[in-house]
Structure 1
Amino acid sequence: MKWSITQLRKFQDKPFEFHQTVNFDHLVKSLDLIDLSDIDVDGELTVRSNEVIADMHLTGTYTMACARTLIPVEVPINIKSQEIFDLEGYEQYSNEVEDDEHYHDATDGMINLKDIAEELVIIEKPMRVFSNESDQMLREGNGWEVIDEEQAIELAKEKETPESKQIDPRLQKLQQLYDEEQ
């Protein structure tokens, strides 16, 4: 994903289309991922007199652990970006234009999109993900389940049946003493 400016000048009349597959396995540990698929980078480079415009579309898959259950979850990568490489030196425009992360200086007469693609993959990674099963796991487990307020009231009423108001035979003498005092 590296092209020289002289090579790209041949495509001044029409855009130079590219399709590359890039591997960023070195990011798996630093981004706390389970896996990162190969990233497909499609796009085109448009050469103008003083700049090269790169329209990029990155696709792939992050495999991350669910924040609740630690089950592996596949998160699709679908990033579109437009990057502009200044051929005349970015510094001369830096006072006029605010610093823009989409403007790059064409260093050593080369356009390198791999570093930019890597940066986009890092930036677009979600902080955390949840699996579809995690909602169900929050409602019930081994010997327990979450109930709403209406269900709790119904259960409380069921426990107040006349059978539950019967006095324990061992404490019946105490009940008689209580009744005599009143």
Structure 2
Amino acid sequence: MKWSLSQLKKYTNHSLELDEKVQFNEISNRRDVVSIGVTSVGGTMHVGSTRVTFNLDIETSIVMLDSRTTEEITVPISVQSTEIFDELQDPDEESDDNIHFVDHTIDLTAIVRELIVISIPTQYTKSETLVESSGENWSVISEEDLEKSSESEEKAIDPRLSKLQSLFGDVEKESKED
């Protein structure tokens, strides 16, 4: 996925179709990312007089560790992006992240890699159930159990506060009478 500007000049004011397959050996240094499959890069490339615009459709799959069970699972990645290469763009000038300065050659490999890396989820799981876990003075409970325990806590009144309950009964009677 590398082109020289001199190659592309003969296609000025034309659009070309992209259909490339790329195999990255390693995509990220994250410990939960095990491997990456073959990456398909498709889309269009429009060559202008000073700019080359790529409308990219990137499809790949990443094998990573399930965030709950630590089993290996396959995560599909799909990215759409528009990248612009401009030979008149000043490389020191800050501009849009999608506009890149080009000197002699256009290399999409680093950009495709970056687009994939930022699309990798921070955590991913296929498991619908929570891993049962507990520790000293704590445990993980389901939402249903939480609702049941909060209902029973509302009904149970601390015996030390039972005398105060009689005061609330008098306040409720007075507000009804007014």
Q: Which residue does the alignment assign to 2:129?
A: 136
Take 1:102 and 1:115, find their aligned partners in 2: how far apart are those partners?
13
Change beyond 3 A, Cα 1:149–1:8: closer
Unpaired segments ≥5 residues, structure 2: 134-140, 151-178
1:99 and 2:95 aligned = yes
State the match for 1:148 in structure 2. Answer: 145
The answer on whether the counterparts of 1:3 and 1:112 sit within 8 Å (CA) in structure 2 is: yes
Question: Is 1:87 aligned to 2:80, yes or no?
Answer: no
The structure with the larger Rg is: 1
AA at the equivalent of 2:114: E
Deviation at 1:13, TM superposition (A): 3.5
The CA distance in 1 between the partners of 2:53 and 2:99, in whole Å, is 9
2:108 to 105, 113, 117: 113
Amino acid at match of 2:102: A
Q: C-alpha distance in 2, partners of 1:150/1:128?
A: 27
Q: What residue identity is the alignment partner of 1:74?
A: T
**Contact persistence 1:63–1:72 (CA under 8 A):** yes
- TM-score (structure 1 length as normaliser): 0.68
TM-fit CA distance, 1:91: 3.9
Could you say if the C-alpha distance between residues 27 and 150 of structure 1 is closer, same or farther in structure 2, counting changes exceeding 3 Å?
A: closer
Residue type of the alignment partner of 2:30: L
RMSD, aligned CA: 2.9
Q: How does 1:1-182 map to 2 (within 5 A)?
A: 1-27=1-27, 30-32=29-31, 33-91=33-91, 94=93, 98-107=94-103, 109-131=104-126, 133=127, 135-138=128-131, 148=145
AA of the residue aligned to 1:31: R
Q: Is the 8 A contact 2:26 2:36 kept in 1?
A: no
Matching residue of 2:172: none
1-side partners of 2:107 and 2:14: how far apart?
20
**8 Å Cα contact 1:18/1:44 also seen in 2:** yes
In the aligned structure 2, how far is the partner of 1:110 from the partner of 1:149? 60
Q: Which amino acid aligns with 1:136?
A: T
Residues 90, 104 of structure 1: 8 Å contact kept = no
Contact preservation (8 Å) 1:8, 1:16: no
Work out the CA distance in 2 between the residues paired with 1:38 and 1:85: 25
Q: Distance in 1 between matches of 2:59 and 2:69?
A: 26
Question: How many matched pairs?
Answer: 145
CA distance in 2, matches of 1:5, 1:42: 20
